[in-house]
Amino acid sequence: MLSLNNLQAQGLTIDQFSAGGGELWCLLGGNDSGLAAFIDVLSGDLDYTGELILPASLGLLSFKQQQSIFEAELKKDDTDFLDRLDPGTPARDFLVDIERYAKQIELFGLEDKLDHGYRQLSSGQARKLCILQQITAGAEFLVLENPYEGLDTGSCRELDKVLSSLCSLGLGILILLNNSADIPAGTTHLGLLAQGSLVLQGREAQQGEAIRATFAKQPPLFQVQVEDLREAKKQEECATGSNLITLHHGFAHYDGREVFSGLDLEIHRFDHTLITGPNGCGKSTLLQMITGDHPLCYVNDLTLFGKKRGSGESIWELKRKMGIVSPDLHRNHRVAGSALAIVLSGLFDTIGLYDRPGESEKLRGQRWLQRLGLSEAAAQPFRHLSYGQQRLILLARALIKGPELLILDEPTQGLDESNRQALLDFLAKIAAEQLATIVYVSHRQDEFRPFFSQQLRFHKGEVDR
């Protein structure tokens, strides 16, 4: 059993909570609700007073732990000493007793990925691997932070099946969620965290409707207005011509494995483009080629803002016209820096702030933080903020310079549903007023908005429109 009694920590107060074997609990909470503090207490990263009873074998997976795995893999990267990319630790090395858990591995669609290196996996595949790592280690109780983030629809269904089967075997499961749409069908109990307190809890059949209704009323932190982007755009020059991106017979491969091929793509100004498809099909790879963060951008027939890649153009000249948010960019923000510094770094297209901003630029950054309800976090270290708050900061970083091209790879990861809807409504206004061209990757069907004028559907190496 997992039990908390009269527990107090910074940003968290829990009078009583307990979850036992065979129960599937979901705790809902917004980005400022205390969910991050809750999981920090369970993982031992946050001091507390009161009583905390943990199961003898606790399996815990948080965004912070996934970041630690990513950074550990970077430290072991031997690409510079090899004549090829170092793929990273083989997936099978993360798992214990693979034969015993073959069914779960197959359900997650990773049976043919066991010999792939960690860095060869998509962000969704990496998350599934980390969940399996906890399961195969023999955990008797699982605590998972937003495990559905970044998973395609099929993978979400597979995870539901795995969690239900584990509960039927007597395991206890606690899922911390920012979105009520992610509550799995087999949920037995629900709770609601708000302003650091557990305000509602009980059996799903009895309390579920009240908890969902209360959660839906929470206001978003994201209060950005299109006027903020108009002001930023006054500082920027637009590219000549209407064709922003052209790719002829585009291809991508990794370690001899084809990811996609024969892709012809044209994105004209205000052709807002939605990109969909299962985990590992090449969506993020395509975006990395466009942003210049993948070496294949130089061998593909790719033209950006009227300039062919590999013709001597400056990557910084191109990135100055882009605002980027992605899981990869988020993972790579390992440098020290305050929330305000990260927002201001968007003016210089760097990971970290190395140029001294002027007073007017500082005021712009503070205004964006105010619009995000994060003014008090301006001086706090970026990495000390919750995952959702970090994602809001990165959104401000992408928007502060009024970019001509917004490249958003699953930008709502880590955002609660009120902030997610606020962001999507904001993007709809951007599209309506033609303030930027949007390229957007998503797995969530409730994010497919009418302003997208074209859609690319990736599937098994092929791309349909």
Residue 221 counted as domain residue: no
Predicted pLDDT of residue 273: 97
Instruction: Tell whether the model's pLDDT for residue 237 goes beyond 80.
Output: no
Residue 130 counted as domain residue: yes
Under the banding of pLDDT at 50, 70 and 90, the label for residue 235 is: low
Task: Enter the tokens of residue 302.
Answer: 């790719």
Identify which of 30-34, 311-315, 328-332 has the greatest average pLDDT: 30-34
The answer to whether residues 151 and 243 belong to one domain is no
Task: Enter the tokens of residue 462.
Answer: 């092929």
Task: Enter the tokens of residue 241.
Answer: 């011509």
Residue 159 counted as domain residue: yes
Please state, in angstroms and rounded to a whole number, the distance separating the CA atoms of residues 309 and 319.
Answer: 13
Instruction: Tell whether the model's pLDDT for residue 461 goes beyond 70.
Output: no
Q: What total number of domains does the chain contain?
A: 2
The answer to whether residues 318 and 434 belong to one domain is yes
CATH number of the domain bearing residue 275: 3.40.50.300
The answer to whether residues 282 and 170 belong to one domain is no
The answer to whether residues 55 and 108 belong to one domain is yes
The answer to whether residues 194 and 233 belong to one domain is no
Residue 294 counted as domain residue: yes
CA neighbor of 414 nearest in space, from 334, 349, 346, 327: 327
CA neighbor of 335 nearest in space, from 271, 405, 383, 279: 383
Beta carbons within 8 Å of 314's beta carbon, 6+ residues apart: none
Residue 256 counted as domain residue: yes
Instruction: Tell whether the model's pLDDT for residue 349 goes beyond 80.
Output: yes
Task: Of 172-186, 241-255, 378-392, give the lowest mean pLDDT range.
Answer: 241-255
pLDDT tens-digit map of 96-108: 999 999 998 998 8
Please state, in angstroms and rounded to a whole number, the distance separating the CA atoms of residues 76 and 208.
Answer: 45
Predicted pLDDT of residue 317: 83
The answer to whether residues 193 and 311 belong to one domain is no
The answer to whether residues 99 and 182 belong to one domain is yes
Instruction: Tell whether the model's pLDDT for residue 344 goes beyond 60.
Output: yes
Of 216, 234, 265, which marks where a domain is finished?
216
The answer to whether residues 316 and 396 belong to one domain is yes
Of 216, 250, 265, which marks where a domain is finished?
216
Instruction: Tell whether the model's pLDDT for residue 74 goes beyond 90.
Output: no
Predicted pLDDT of residue 241: 64
Residue 54 counted as domain residue: yes
Beta carbons within 8 Å of 297's beta carbon, 6+ residues apart: 288, 289, 290, 309, 310
Share in percent of the chain as helix, strand, coil (round to 5): 35, 25, 40
Instruction: Say which DSSP state 220 is in.
Output: P
CA neighbor of 188 nearest in space, from 27, 28, 25, 29: 25
Instruction: Tell whether the model's pLDDT for residue 21 goes beyond 70.
Output: yes
Under the banding of pLDDT at 50, 70 and 90, the label for residue 119 is: confident
Residue 30 counted as domain residue: yes
Instruction: Tell whether the model's pLDDT for residue 27 goes beyond 60.
Output: yes
Q: What is the mean pLDDT of residues 439-448?
A: 93
Under the banding of pLDDT at 50, 70 and 90, the label for residue 350 is: confident
Instruction: Tell whether the model's pLDDT for residue 428 goes beyond 60.
Output: yes
Instruction: Tell whether the model's pLDDT for residue 271 goes beyond 60.
Output: yes
Within 13 Å of residue 313, how many CA atoms lie on the same side as its CB?
Answer: 19
The answer to whether residues 164 and 234 belong to one domain is no
pLDDT tens-digit map of 157-184: 989 998 998 999 899 999 999 999 999 9
Predicted pLDDT of residue 236: 56
Percentage of the chain beyond pLDDT 90 is 69
pLDDT tens-digit map of 187-220: 999 999 999 999 999 999 999 999 999 999 999 9
pTM, 2 dp: 0.90
User: What distance lies between CA 33 and its chain's CA centroid?
Assistant: 18
The answer to whether residues 196 and 301 belong to one domain is no
Segments forming the whole domain that contains residue 291: 226-464
Mean pLDDT score across all residues of the chain:
91
Of 216, 234, 264, which marks where a domain is finished?
216
Give the burial class of 332: count Cβ atoms within 10 A of its Cβ; 0-12 exposed, 13-18 middle, 19 or more buried.
Answer: middle
Under the banding of pLDDT at 50, 70 and 90, the label for residue 310 is: confident
The answer to whether residues 144 and 262 belong to one domain is no
pLDDT tens-digit map of 398-411: 999 999 999 999 99
The answer to whether residues 7 and 86 belong to one domain is yes
